[in-house]
Amino acid sequence: MFTRKLTCLALLMALILGLIQPTGEARLVSLKEQSKKLELELDGQRVFVVIDGSLNISQSDLLAYVRSAALAVGKVYGQIPVKRTVIRVEATDGDSVGFATSTYNDDEDYGLIEIAIGRDTSRETLDQSWTLTHELLHLGFPIVEHSKRWLAEGIATYEEPIGRLRLGMIRAEDLWGDLLLHAPEGLPQPGGRGLNNSSSWGRIYWGGALYCLLADIEIRQKTGNRYGLEHALRGIASSGGTARSNWTASQALAAGDKAVSLDVLASLYQKMAYDSYSVDLAQLWRQLGIKKTAAGIVFDNSAPLAKIRQAIETGQ
């Protein structure tokens, strides 16, 4: 059954509405019982799509959405991080992509993503939707206890646009523009506490993403751009620390550090999880060579960390 569950957008809304976080209960989805399912196979990893209700788009358009999300995750992890994934689509009213959750079905051994998609959603809307990429990324990291959820949400928030950029779904200006806009929400308030004791949406998602950006830069600096955060994440997944595992956050970070022969993830975790660790964002953007102008985001390729910025964009 489902012992652990991540509720992403639903959590976000609950926080916005001031409600208590979800209970973690989930409906049983038995793969064996699903007679009508679509199936994709990507590099040996199988993805099943089950539709609850009916959508006014073609199956091929829906599968294109699933395929592009899976390929975007592959741009970060090399492949979908677990062998079998079930994507359960709930057809809802409207024309947009709504709430989604990720969990792992221990009994039947598959990652489960439940996602609400409006009946009148268009192919264009699906092409612009980051939600499924975000959820699939969650399958690469253990579903850790609530106080450390910022790590899982940070990884998905940070890596989702990177994967989609590398797949050509968004532009570099979109990736960095969003980070420039939202990273301040991830900073601690004056006198605030570490990320493990933060419950605000901004701290969980963008504080976590900032942790990932800082780790990515440090790994790349220390390895001359040979490795980045994605290599640490691949190391975590390949040594067993996926959503299928019951690993702790510390176990996962240790495996990630070991994969790149560094101590970046654990030591940055010590600083950001327990203390009110702030970041000089203006200086960080300057070093990366990212500037917001009236005409939009512009890049300075002579900035000291410009090569690292480019490596994050391309994965090369």
Question: Shortest gap between Cβ of 201 and Zn ion (angstroms)?
Answer: 11
Q: In this complex, which beta carbon is closest to Zn ion, that of residue 82 or of residue 260?
A: 82
E strands along the chain, which residues?
5-7, 37-42, 45-52, 84-92, 97-105, 110-118, 290-293, 296-299
Q: How far apart are CA 114 and CA 28, in angstroms?
A: 11
160/230 with CB nearer Zn ion: 160
Angle of the 208-222 helix axis to the 172-182 helix axis, nearest 10: 120
Question: Looking at beta carbons only, is 8 or 260 nearer to Zn ion?
Answer: 8
**Nearest by Cα to 150 from 210, 207, 192, 214:** 207
- The CA distances from residue 181 to 69, 102, 142, 292, in Å, are 24, 26, 28, 10
Identity of the residue, 206 or 227, whose beta carbon is nearer to Zn ion in the bound complex: 206
> In the complex, which residue's CB is closest to Zn ion?
8
* DSSP state at residue 302: T
Smallest distance, Å, CB 188 to Zn ion?
A: 21
Residue with tokens 């102008």: 293
9 or 38: whose CB is closer to Zn ion? Answer: 9
Task: Count Cα neighbours of 166 within 13 Å in the Cβ-side half-sphere.
Answer: 23
Q: Note the residues at the interface with Zn ion (CB under 5 A).
A: 8, 153, 156
Minimum distance from residue 185 beta carbon to Zn ion (Å): 16
Taking the least distance from each CB to Zn ion, the nearer of 8 and 273 is: 8
Whole-number Å distance between alpha carbons of 59 and 237: 31
- What SS3 string covers 251-266? HHHHHHHHHCCCCHHH
Q: State the Cα–Cα distance between residues 59 and 57, nearest whole angstrom.
A: 7
Q: Give min distance, CB of 104 to Zn ion, in A.
A: 14
Q: Minimum distance between the CB of residue 159 and Zn ion, rounded to whole angstroms? A: 11
In angstroms, what is the minimal distance from the CB of 251 to Zn ion?
20
The smaller minimum CB distance to Zn ion, of residues 152 and 311, is found at 152
Q: How far is the CB of 134 from Zn ion (least distance, A)?
A: 5
